[in-house]
Amino acid sequence: MARPRSSQAATPRRPAQVQSKDRATSSVAARRAVLKRIKDEGVEHVLFWFTDLEGHLKSFAITPNEMEGALDDGMGFDGSSITGFNRIEESDMVAIPDPTTFQILPRPVDDHGHELGAKVGRMICDVVKPDGTPYEGDPRYLLRLALERMRKAGFDTFNVGPELEYFLFEDDKGTETLDEGGYFAMTTQDAATEVRNDTIHALESVGIQIEYHHHEVAPSQHEIDMRYDDALVMADKTMTYRIVVKEVAAWHGYYATFMPKPLFGENGSGMHTHMSLFKGGRNMFFDPKDPHHLSKTAKSFIAGLLVHAREMSAVLAQWVNSYKRLVPGYEAPVYVAWSQRNRSALIRIPLYKPGSEQATRAEIRCPDPACNPYLAFAALLHAGLEGIEKGYELPDEMTTNLYRLSAEERKQRGIVALPGSLGEAVEELAGSELMRKALGEHIFPRYVELKRKEWDEYRTQVTQWEKDRYLAAL
């Protein structure tokens, strides 16, 4: 795989000078296994990946000769150059590679099936301070803290299965589609089937198990679904998925985007996220005696998601454009309710199949694929655990199409809507004690500041729509 544009090296303004110290958090055996693979498979470079606060992938490259020291001690970088990280006077950071994430990146092939370009590996890193303590601004560490809260609550696994949708366009200069195919299209209109097939091969080559793929509702819109996994592993996979999708599209001369709503009048791209809690290998969401086959744990978890949905919206849908998707009429959830079959509800409970008790789960439909998965999964887990620990009661199921109810009918039933803009969502976030706890005292104020700034930049623009509507009339 060629070095992707969106994961270009996070070039420091000055090299971070950090005192050498054995900061590795992995076993000696795991580190030796990585070094052996690098040598045996002729890897020429290894990319160290981590994310900034908004979920943009950052990387820098290490040569094989430097790998042993990097595995033992990490590599220093200037955190002041990374969005949401520390100011320049306290900017020295260290990236500690996680050996369990080592993969050799896929490469394009020529007409004869020969791989092109250098053989490159990648490892996902935890970010620490020079003394080796975790950096509170590292989104990966934040998710680790949420999982620690889960373990203290008596569970051992938070399984997550996100469904990422995306668009393929002719290039990154516009939104010229490749086809006019619709949902599950299997005709010549679905021009990107070959691109999807190559994407699946590339994803599987880096250890991402794929369950199925298909054309989505909008023209040139696609979905490739990963098999569920532990939340931290899945967040790593989500970051990898996004860059692989973009890279394979580029091999074919196209551009892939996870922008939530690139086309006016068409469905946007969501990231429906399936969740369940396990303990000792058992799904704690399942109850054979309940009419919906949901345990008390599951009901309280779902209630937590509903109660805190507005507060965490700015994390699950974090861009101005996210709220162009979250409007009635385009299959996107707007109203805070739950149902087993009603897809207009925010949370859906997939139908139970006898013998599939382990698959009992809740699906939240408001996240979009441009979120930071580490922050998103952490926020969802905290909200669900809050419901469990405080014994939230699950409201009645909503079986009616919520889009067809009047505002007064929704009010009578106690159904609220998600925020209608990033500005509204940020203020909900800013006033949330739970999200302050979920994001931590380091990330929380920085994240609120970033999103307020984005909203202010947007709301002060004069758009073409305004000129067309008002210039000649006013």
Q: Per the structure, how many domains does the chain have?
A: 2
> Tens place of pLDDT for every residue, the chain, 474 residues?
544 444 444 444 444 444 556 677 777 888 999 999 999 999 999 999 999 999 999 999 999 999 998 998 888 888 776 776 665 445 788 999 999 999 999 998 877 778 888 899 999 999 999 888 999 999 999 999 999 999 999 999 999 999 999 999 999 999 999 887 555 455 455 567 788 889 999 999 999 999 988 887 788 899 999 999 999 999 999 999 999 999 999 999 999 999 999 999 898 999 999 999 999 999 999 999 998 899 999 999 999 999 999 999 999 999 999 999 998 766 678 889 998 877 778 999 987 777 777 889 999 999 999 999 999 999 999 999 999 999 999 998 887 777 777 778 778 788 888 999 999 999 999 999 999 999 999 999 999 999 999 999 999 999 999 999 999 999
Structural domain contains residue 139: no
In a domain, 137, yes or no: no
In a domain, 140, yes or no: no
Catalytic status, residue 223: yes
In a domain, 413, yes or no: yes
Residues linked to residue 93 through DSSP beta bridges, in sequence order: 77
Active-site hit among 92, 98, 126, 165:
165
Domain boundary among 88, 103, 132: 132
Which of 52, 92, 126, 163 is labelled catalytic?
Answer: 163
Containing domain of residue 207, as a range?
Answer: 146-464
Binding residue ranges for Mg(2+): 163, 165, 216, 223, 272, 363
The catalytic position among 122, 196, 242, 272 is 272
Return contacts of 27-35, CB within 8 angstroms, 24+ apart: 30/99, 30/100, 31/68, 31/71, 31/72, 31/99, 33/99, 34/67, 34/71, 34/99, 34/102, 34/123, 35/67, 35/68, 35/71
- In a shared domain, residues 204 and 177: yes
Distances (CA, A) of 9 to 67, 193, 247, 273: 17, 32, 16, 30
- Kindly name the residue from 138, 216, 229, 428 that is annotated as catalytic: 216
Binding site for L-glutamate, by residue number, is 267-268, 325, 331, 343, 365
Distance, CA of 291 to CA of 158 (rounded, Å):
24
- Could you tell me if 395 and 448 lie in one domain? yes
Q: Are residues 375 and 444 both part of a single domain?
A: yes
Q: CATH number, domain at 238?
A: 3.30.590.10
Q: Does one domain contain both 238 and 332?
A: yes
213 within some domain: yes
126 and 268 in a single domain? The answer is: no
266 included as an active-site residue? no
Which of 104, 132, 160 represents a domain boundary (last residue)? 132
Q: Does 194 qualify as catalytic in the annotation? A: no
Binding residues: 163, 165, 211, 216, 223, 267-268, 272, 274-276, 325, 331, 343, 363, 365
Active site residue 163: yes
> Are 70 and 92 in the same domain?
yes
Indicate the annotated binding residues for ATP.
211, 274-276, 343
Domain CATH code at residue 46: 3.10.20.70
Of 78, 138, 247, 386, the active-site residue reads: 78
| Pair 335, 382 in one domain | yes
| Residue 469 resides in a domain | no
User: Of 293, 365, 382, 442, which residue is the catalytic one?
Assistant: 365
Residue 156 and residue 126 in one domain: no
In a domain, 158, yes or no: yes
- Is residue 363 flagged as an active site residue? yes
Instruction: For residues 191 and 180, give the distance between their C-alpha atoms in angstroms, rounded to a whole number.
Output: 9
Direct distance between the N- and C-terminal alpha carbons of the chain, in angstroms, rounded to an integer = 54
